Amino acid sequence: MTRKIILLVVLLQCTFVVAQKESANWYFGENAGISFNTGAPVPLVDGKLNTSEGCATISDTSGNLLFYTDGVTVWDRKHNVMPNGEGLLGHSSSTESALIIPKPGSKSRYYIFTIDMPSYFLKEEKPINGVNFSEVDLSLNGGFGDVVENVKNIHLITYDTSDAEENEFKSSEKIAAVTHSNGSSIWVTTNFMNRFYSFLVDNTGVNTSATVSQVQQLVRPILNDDGANVTAIGYLKIAPNGKKIAIAHSSTAAGSPRTGRKKSGKVLLYDFNNTTGEVTNQITLLDNAYPYGVEFSPDSKLLYVTNSIFNETDVFINGELLQFNVESNNIAASKLLINSSQNVAGALQLAIDGRIYRAGYKVFADGFDLSVIKSPNNIGTSCDYSENSINLGGKTAKLGLPPFVQSIFIYNFDYEITCLGEQTHFFITTEEPYDSVEWDFGDGQISTDEDVYHTFAQSGTYTVGLSLSLNGIKRDPILKEIIISEPPNVRPDTYELVQCDSFDSDSNDGRALFNLQQANESLSLDDSDAIQVYYYNSILEAENDTLNINALENVYRNQVIDEIIHAKVYRTNTECYAMTSVQLSTTSPLNVGEHEMVTCTVERNDEVIFDLAAKADEIVNDLGLSTDVEINFYETERDAAIGINALPGSYRAKNSTLYIRAETDNTCYGNGVLNLVLKEFVQLEDQLIQICKEDFPVTINSGIALHEIDNYNYEWSNSETTNEISVTKPGTYEVMVSDLYSSCSDVAIITIEESKVPVINNLIIEDQQVTVVVENTSEHEYLYALDDEFGLYQESNSFIDVTEGIHQVFVKDVLGCEIVSESFNILYFPKFFTPNNDNVNDIWNVHGLDSNLVENGDLILSIYDRYGKLLYSFNPINSLGWNGMFNDTKLISDDYWYFMRLPTGEVSQGHFTLKR
């Protein structure tokens, strides 16, 4: 029972995770694509992808398409968007927007690494997303795959979190991958500023703590006029043998308007340590350029670069394809120009046919073709470059091509069947020529067969090596760590999973909902085993379901009484399983009964906390249940029936019905119902009462309606216990009102304020507007009247258009407790007079003076000319005024000045006009 299915399963837990045909299909550009399944590239015209640059595609070991993406949207093998496949945080204009990594040890799970475009196109309010990863599970969505909900857009730190600039931009647009030296894990590497970040992906997932390498070249984010970060652009590639890493910085500076902005780019080469993920030993290969694509030859000895040449006004001149000999003593000096043309610099990508393909297009033209380096291991023009020779069937290439885990492009082997006691199958996947083979299985055994089956004597980790020879020359071995695992030790008998026959229409039919996962822990005889279990109606169904996509749902209703189902028990992260069985039995449940919890709330439509833990104890005690009976509460009958999503001991809710599940040792014991009753408590409101001093004592109350007074208890801050009390002085009084039938209570605060007698501080008189200034207007409301104490009062303290003369203002509070008043004068000094003896405006004098408020002899009004000469002085009360004469002479038409000081000290001065 433990082995039949295993013979059908391929465990792709190897250095390169899958064979070369993982890269058999490419989708890129504007709905463009090619397939290498038949050898020569064949156009694919069914793609839905439309991207200027970044993209990624993945296929299975037989070259069948699985899915592809532009870093934002994921399409399945039928070119439909995966249900959760939108909203990834890449960008179609990011150089390497996406990279797909198969999860080591899994045949159905993949990681999509995405890189946003770290630029602003007049949208500074949108943050830059940096580097993230999401997981795709091909067992979901009927085998078409979906993005796992809780493993979507997981952020990776590729910047100094304490640096504001790095926090803003977060990354460049570069990412690459290669296999770890252990042959199973994968390094995913990216670059930002002067650091490389290498993340390890193994059979446990993505290690979010990076290996960080600091290098000499510092490239800071620089925005052009359009908001694009020009220093983020360009490809990153690792050599297939995992020893070198090359990076194209299209720009490292802003450039100059006089000499051009596209002449600061570099190509740099480093050593890569595929054991530690470290990057060291910088070499500058190309400087003062505008490079874009980089790629290593299949033998990792040559590096190819695409570079665009621009003039001083940034007009494109031509594109170059360059070659460098990585094994040269002077790598930079080994540069060879392979081709110069009107094709702009685009991506370079190694394919499974051993050729390197180049994207790009002629300026102001569409790219309906790809170019190809047919023999990339050859130095110089013997590499056989052919431009625009790969037709795309009418579809359009842009700048980008899909990257892959680079290690798949050197000679390789895969294996299948890794359970102890089975023959593990090893097979060569390379298409390179060889004439002899040597396998070293890491247990002291070797073989010279091409296709070999080997049985390991013990479980454990083995380093298996493959060495190929051609013309008597033996190549370095490819090493892979493989894990031989034992199936889990499961119980030999049938485990009985017991469930209450409850929460359905017939509690005696022997059929109920079962949570099959409740049986998992009881199936393994070794508590240290980490297991994963799938359930089936028959052994045959279990063995035939290689992807476990047709297993029973974890919540399952048995079809017959005491039904026996079959458990396929895997040791976690292996393909090794054992079979055992589970009997689904039902019992008649104890009727726990219907219960009620009553509480109340002050706020309408509010939720309150119910103490379910205390209620559970109460039910156990009331029913006299054993202390090993556990009571839990659930929001739905289904959850209660299968024992999932139990509610916490403190539960916030409104009026609702909960379902009770009683169990012992995780086995259903009984069921019932709990009604949560939420009464609306009376709403108390704080009160502010202002009264006149003479109105004390005053009676105050809690605010409860008369017809409800007897339903509550009252406790005042002065210890009185009635609904209303009498108070004799101002102050703050609190009353706690409690419900007679529940624990609900609330407090009302009644504030008694004694009305303050208004105090007039000042009267501000400006022309004919009078403003009354009263103390404490911020704390008390006052009303104002002019000249009539019993007339209309207004809320405003200002009066306008007040006529000259004597007036009186009255002020009272809103309660009318006491009225205060103050008199004032409005003086009017005429602006002109016309002393021409027509009895109209012949005399100039002030108007509005109160003769009772001033002593006649103490009040003098003086007239001056423009030079300050005193012309006339008089008492304005007992004199008619000035007639425009000086020493019996009529003065001319002009402006004249007056000055008057009242006995109060108030001064009035100004000027007026004499008109003849």
The more confidently predicted of residues 903 and 163 is 163
Q: At the top level of CATH, which class does the domain 832-914 belong to?
A: mainly beta
Is pLDDT of 800 > 80?
yes
With a cut of 90, say whether residue 572 has pLDDT above it: no
- Residue % of the chain over a pLDDT of 90: 61
Q: What is the mean pLDDT of residues 627-650?
A: 91
Q: Tokens representing 376?
A: 């990339």
pLDDT at 722: 94
* Pairwise CA distance, residues 113 & 45, whole Å: 25
Across 301-318, average pLDDT: 92
Distance CA 232, CA 220 (A): 9
Residue 256 has pLDDT above 70, yes or no: no
Per DSSP (E only), the strands in 681-777 are 687-691, 698-701, 712-716, 724-727, 731-739, 745-754, 760-766, 769-774
Band (432; pLDDT cuts 50, 70, 90): low
Instruction: Give pLDDT tens digits for 865-884.
Output: 989 999 999 999 888 999 99
pLDDT by residue (tens digit) across 554-563? 999 999 999 9
pLDDT digits (tens, 9 = 90+) for 578-612: 999 999 999 888 888 899 988 877 665 678 889 99
Instruction: Give 731's strand partners.
Output: 752
Q: What is the mean pLDDT of residues 520-536?
A: 89
Instruction: Kindly provide the b/e burial profile for residues 586-598, where b requires at least 16 CB atoms within 10 angstroms of the residue's own CB.
Output: bbebbebeebebe
- DSSP symbol at 168: H
Q: What pLDDT is attached to residue 259?
A: 66
- What does the block give as tokens for 328? 């040269």
pLDDT score at 608: 83
Cα 92 versus chain centre, distance: 20
Second CATH level (architecture) for the domain 687-754: Sandwich (2.60)
Per residue in 146-164, pLDDT (tens digit) is: 999 999 999 999 999 999 9
In this predicted structure, which of 232-241, 331-340, 732-741 has the lowest mean pLDDT?
Answer: 732-741
As given in the structure block, the two tokens for residue 20 are 């070369």
Confidence of residue 11 (pLDDT cuts 50, 70, 90): very low
User: For 199-210, what is the mean pLDDT?
Assistant: 95
Task: Please compute, for residue 866, the number of CA atoms within 13 A of its CA located in the half-sphere on the CB side.
Answer: 8
- Rounded CA-CA distance 677/700 in Å is 33
Res. 855: pLDDT tops 80: no
Residue with tokens 């102890």: 420
Rounded Cα distance between 415 and 451, Å, is 10
Higher confidence at residue 253 or residue 470?
A: 253
pLDDT tier at 779, thresholds 50, 70, 90:
low
Predicted structure pTM score: 0.56
Token pair belonging to 185: 């894990």
By percentage, how much of the chain surpasses pLDDT 70? 95
Helix (H) or strand (E) holding 640: helix 637-642
* Cα separation, 196 vs 280, whole angstroms: 10
Least confident of 214-218, 474-478, 547-551, 620-624: 474-478
Look up residue 595 and give its amino acid: H
**CA-based torsion, 812, 815, 816, 820: positive or negative:** negative
**In the CATH scheme, what is the homologous superfamily, with its name and number, of domain 7-407?**
YVTN repeat-like/Quinoprotein amine dehydrogenase (2.130.10.10)
> Domain segments of the chain: what residues?
7-407, 421-483, 495-587, 599-657+674-680, 687-754, 760-826, 832-914
Who's near 553: CB < 8 A, 6+ residues apart? none
pLDDT at 15: 32
pLDDT of 10: 28
Average pLDDT over residues 439-460: 95
Beta bridge partners of 890: 885
Question: Sorting pLDDT into bands at 50, 70 and 90, what band is 777?
Answer: low
Task: Report whether pLDDT(14) > 70.
Answer: no
**Strand 760-766 relative to strand 131-137: parallel, antiparallel, unpaired?**
unpaired
CA distance 440 to 476: 13
Mean pLDDT, residues 747-765 taken together: 88
Which neighbouring-strand residues pair with 312? Answer: none
Q: Are the beta carbons of 812 and 818 closer than 8 angstroms?
A: yes
Whether 655 shows a pLDDT value over 80: the answer reads yes
Compute how many other C-beta atoms are within 10 angstroms of the C-beta atom of residue 832: 12
662 Cβ contact list (under 8 Å, min separation 6): 589, 590, 592, 625, 629, 630, 631, 668, 669, 670, 671, 672
Residue 671, pLDDT score: 87
**Mean pLDDT score, 82-108:** 92
Is pLDDT at 695 greater than 80 in this prediction? yes
Predicted local distance difference test score (pLDDT) of residue 27: 98
Predicted local distance difference test score (pLDDT) of residue 740? 82
pLDDT digits (tens, 9 = 90+) for 293-307: 999 998 899 999 999
Query: What's the CATH superfamily of 421-483?
Result: Immunoglobulins (2.60.40.10)
pLDDT at 113 over 90: yes
- How high is the mean pLDDT of the chain? 88
> For 85, how many CA atoms within 13 A lie in the half-sphere containing its CB?
24
Q: Which pLDDT score is estimated for 833? A: 94
Choice among 452-466, 508-522, 677-691, 842-856 with the minimum mean pLDDT: 842-856
Find, among 432, 415, 423, the residue nearest to 457 by Cα. 423
When comparing pLDDT for 643 and 810, which is higher? 810
- The pLDDT, as a whole number, for residue 854 is 58
What the block records as the tokens of 528 is 């240290």
Do 7-407 and 421-483 come out as alike in CATH topology? no
- Per DSSP, 588 falls in state P
pLDDT of residue 115: 95
41 prior amide bond cis, ω within 30: no
More confident residue, 305 or 241: 305
Region 760-826: CATH code: 2.60.40
Q: Supply the pLDDT for residue 254.
A: 80
pLDDT at residue number 13: 30
- Mean pLDDT lowest for which of 76-85, 457-466, 680-689? 680-689
